[in-house]
Chains A and B, each alone.
Chain A
Amino acid sequence: MTASLLQVDQLDVAYRGPAGAVPVVKGVSFTLGQEKLAVVGESGSGKTTVGRALLRLLPRHAQVSARTLRFDGVDLLAASDRQMGQLRGQRLSMIMQDPRYSLNPVMPVGAQIGEAVLRAEALGRAACQERVEQLLARVHIREPGRVARQYAHQLSGGMGQRVMIAMMLAQKPRLLVADEPTSALDVSVRQEVLDLLDELVAEQGLMLLFISHDLNLVGRFCDRVLVMYGGRVVEALPAAELAHADHPYTRALLSAAPSLKHRRRTLPVLQRDPAWSAG
């Protein structure tokens, strides 16, 4: 592992509500270097919130605090909106779950990528167009010229997600937060998107924070895994050792996954232990 660019220590996030603050992320700590780190957990475990907190994209009523939250020497909590604006896109970026919602429905996708391109470098119309097509070709889209003129609803899910990735690549970020990038996709195109991400990590030295709820996928795809439950990290381990996880929650999750090799009549149901969230 190379030197860690992202340091997160004791990250807390709470939502202010009428009944007082509701904690959703409690004391999450991890570091990230040039690697693929997975954050897994069930719905509501706080994995997306962690991802969004890094980019300061949480709604206004969220309270974020941490002992350290540093990215490449910049304190993300103390950064001004202006600094954050510069950091976002250019250094930090994010891929959302469903390209149908994350692309503007009334703008051709090429124009949307073009916005990002123009922010990274000042180019003329033709040069920008060319760069957009390069980026689309980079994410293995055939006929980039035609796709650039299309709207989000004319693309398939896999294409849409690749367009999103192209958009994110336009500004050459260092850290990419991928929030369940394959959950909305067909199983058949899932692998293509994963391969693409893998390729980018290897070629461009991207750091990837991969948020998912698919333990099997994460075990194959990522280098390290953080398992979250109830807003806490209950276990952190190398992906290769996932099969030998210690924590009962991780073990229960693994055993609840259906398998072709071991047929069972009923799948085991997760028996929750209050001690996990007290951790």
Chain B
Amino acid sequence: MSIAVDSNAGARPAWADEAVALLRRLMRNRLTAAGLVVIGLLVLLALLAPWLAPADPLRQDLARALLPPGPGHWFGTDEFGRDVLSRLLHGTRITLFIVVLVTVVVGPLGMAVGVVAGYFGGRVDAVLMRLTDMVLSFPSLILALAFVAAMGPGLDHAVLAIALTAWPPIARLSRAEALTLRQSDFIVVAQLQGASNTRVLLKHLVPLCLPSVLVRLTMNMASVVLTAAGLGFLGLGAQPPLPEWGAMISEGRRYMLDSWWLVAAPGAAILAVSTAFNLLGDGLNDALDPRQNT
């Protein structure tokens, strides 16, 4: 769906301006800025992990097992003598992989269901929303567990399972937006000009639902991180040699009393990242809400 009016030529700098203004508004709140910095750091670490990590995250050295934090191994080593810091750094890639993939699946899926239900209403709405309610009525971790149990453990399946359980809130949100927008005059005008339903949905409704969905997706990322770690902890997400944070906690659990760093390091990482996503989501909510910028 491309529109032939050349609005890009003049609009691109305007877009850039908008982005800068948004960033400035985000940075004004200290907590949001902190969240943004942590996530920026996360992305940076994930990109540079192979160069930053002091050791191969998978290389075992049983002679140096369970060393406490100190020079050479800043976060200590685990029971196979693997460097915890290196594993943590490589773990950022897995975490980001899950978060991005889930979001890319959940955003469009939830929005499609919600906007279609809200726009058409009636029977379509009833069927789609009851389906949403059904999924929503299960605790997401339990449902994800069931999916993984059915499909078999593994990182890809964990992503799929989390995505399948995370779309209903997005669907509800975009349905609510679509419901209020459906009756607005400019939608009527678009219909009046003979715009097809697909066109009204894609060109007129979706862009207007986007800000609130974006906020919700960002906040959602926090729970995705937690669910992914939970699945990893239960042995249903990323499988053992992979340095996934949840799996690391699960492995370190047995040595927790003597070697606290095995659990503390990945635990702190999960805490920092999920808090950062929450803070950023809150900040985005304030920054994107036109009623609050005065």
Contacts and interface: CB of A to CB of B under 8 A. Distances in A.
Contacts of B7: 108, 110-111, 148-149
Contacts of B183: 59
B192 A126 contact: no
A187 interface: no
Given A60-B121, A110-B7, 15 more contacts: A55-B192, A60-B122, A85-B196, A90-B194, A96-B189, A101-B185, A102-B188, A103-B186, A104-B208, A105-B186, A106-B207, A119-B193, A128-B5, A129-B5, A171-B193
B184 interface: yes
Interface in A120-146: 123-126, 128-129, 132
B193 A115 contact: yes
A148 B10 CA distance: 10
B185 A102 contact: yes
Contacts of A26: none
B256 interface: no
A116 B193 contact: yes
Contacts of B204: 104, 107
A101 B183 CA distance: 11
A171 B207 contact: no
A167 interface: yes
Contacts of B4: 114, 118, 123-125, 128-129
B123 to A, nearest CB: 12
A49 interface: no
A170 B195 CA distance: 13
Interface in A82-98: 85-86, 88-90, 93-94, 96-98
A111 B192 CA distance: 16
B6 to A, nearest CB: 5
Given A106-B208, A107-B203, A149-B10, A118 B3 contact: yes
B203 A94 contact: no
- Leading 6 A-B pairs by shortest Cβ distance: A114-B5, A89-B194, A102-B185, A89-B193, A101-B185, A125-B4
5 contacts: A57-B188, A60-B121, A101-B185, A104-B190, A168-B193
Contacts of B6: 125-126, 129
A115 B3 contact: yes
B37 to A, nearest CB: 30
Contact of A111 (B5, B185, B189, B208): B5
A90 B208 CA distance: 27
A209 to B, nearest CB: 14
Nearest to A118: B4
Interface residues of B, number: 27
Given A108-B7, A111-B7, A114-B3, A88 B186 contact: no
A98 B6 CA distance: 26
A88 B3 contact: no
Contacts of A60: 121-122
A128 B189 CA distance: 20
Contacts, number: 96
Contacts of B208: 104-106
A119 B189 contact: no
A101 B188 CA distance: 10
Q: Which of A113, A149, A164 has the most CB of B within 10 A?
A: A149
Interface in B180-229: 183-186, 188-196, 199, 203-204, 207-208
Contacts of B257: none
Contacts of A119: 193-195
Nearest to A179: B185
A89 B189 CA distance: 9
B207 A96 contact: no
B8 to A, nearest CB: 10
A62 to B, nearest CB: 13
B11 interface: yes
Q: Which of B10, B184, B192 has the most CB of A within 10 A?
A: B192
Interface in B237-272: none
A207 B130 CA distance: 47
Contacts of A103: 186, 189
Nearest to B9: A149
B147 to A, nearest CB: 36
A115 B183 CA distance: 20
A113 B193 CA distance: 10
Contacts of B186: 101-105
B184 to A, nearest CB: 6
Given A103-B186, A119-B193, A111 B207 contact: no
Nearest to A101: B185
Contacts of B3: 111, 114-115, 118
B5 A148 contact: yes
Contacts of B188: 57, 96, 102
B10 A115 contact: no
A170 B4 CA distance: 15
